[in-house]
Amino acid sequence: MLCLQTPTNTAWLDVAAGNIIAVMKDHAHCEKKAAMNALYLLAQYSEHDALVREMITVLEEETAHFKLMVGELAQRGHSLGRDKGNSYAKQLAALIRPNEPKRFLDALLVDALIEARSCERFTLLAGCEAIPADLRGIYHALMTSEEGHYLTFVRLAKEYFPEHEVDMRFHELCGEEASIVRALPNKPAMHG
Ligand SMILES: [Fe+2]
Ligand SMILES: [Fe+2]
């Protein structure tokens, strides 16, 4: 993804491929949280028609991804289990400025970044020969879908804020995201 300032450490892919069930469980929870987030944004900013329309679509797609991954886990004899949390997303959420309208802008841009990083990691998983071919096919499809969500969040930011303000803030947040990613411990999780 063009906006990402640092690539994922190659060590993460080795850990992920060697612990694919753990990655699948964490990934399913990520899809659940992406759906919850779309519903949250829709509820919080329901005066914006374009946002409402787009978030209904994102909600449907993330819910479908969640259902797909829970099904894939079940097929392999695994349940969803408890959500172990996502420190990457928490660190990004902490960068959202508290007062409106900056809060709205930052929320859209942080979501765009999470989608972009997810897309990058699905690309790595889809291309990894140590991962079963059927799963790689799923990761390939998800890569395209999450890229679409990334574009949606950036488009919405530019719909409601001046382009130069969006570009400036996004550049700052991309730098912060790169620092967070460089410090990740390479755990078997989507953003580990
Ligand atoms: Fe998704
Ligand atoms: Fe997404």
CA of 31 from ligand 1 middle (Å) equals: 5
In 3D space, the residue among 18, 62, 15, 13 whose CA is nearest the CA of residue 41 turns out to be 62
Q: What is the pLDDT along the chain (192 residues), one digit of tens a residue?
A: 579 999 999 999 999 999 999 999 999 999 999 999 999 999 999 999 999 999 999 999 999 999 999 999 999 999 999 999 999 999 999 999 999 999 999 999 999 999 999 999 999 999 999 999 999 999 999 999 999 999 999 999 999 999 999 999 999 999 999 999 999 999 999 999
CA of 100 from ligand 2 middle (Å) equals: 24
- Residue 117 belongs to a domain: yes
CA of 34 from ligand 2 middle (Å) equals: 6
Q: What pLDDT does residue 1 have?
A: 59
- Residue 4 belongs to a domain: no
Tokens of 89: 């997303």
- Residue 143 belongs to a domain: yes
Residue 75 is part of which domain span? Answer: 10-182
Contact between 35 and 66 (Cβ < 8 Å) = yes
Scanning the structure block, which residue is given the tokens 């409106």?
100
Contact between 89 and 118 (Cβ < 8 Å) = no
Angle between helices 20-44 and 133-160 (to 10 degrees): 20
- Residue 70 belongs to a domain: yes
- Residue 190 belongs to a domain: no
Neighbours of 113 (CB within 10 A): 28
When divided into structural domains, the chain yields a total of 1
- Residue 157 belongs to a domain: yes
Q: Is the peptide bond before 162 cis (omega within 30 degrees of 0)?
A: no
CA of 46 from ligand 2 middle (Å) equals: 20
Q: Is the peptide bond before 98 cis (omega within 30 degrees of 0)?
A: no
- Residue 2 belongs to a domain: no
Measured CA to CA, the distance from residue 64 to residue 6 in angstroms comes to 30
CATH of the domain at 139: 1.20.1260.10
- Residue 131 belongs to a domain: yes
> Which ligand lies nearest to the CA atom of residue 111 in the structure?
2
Q: What pLDDT does residue 156 have?
A: 98
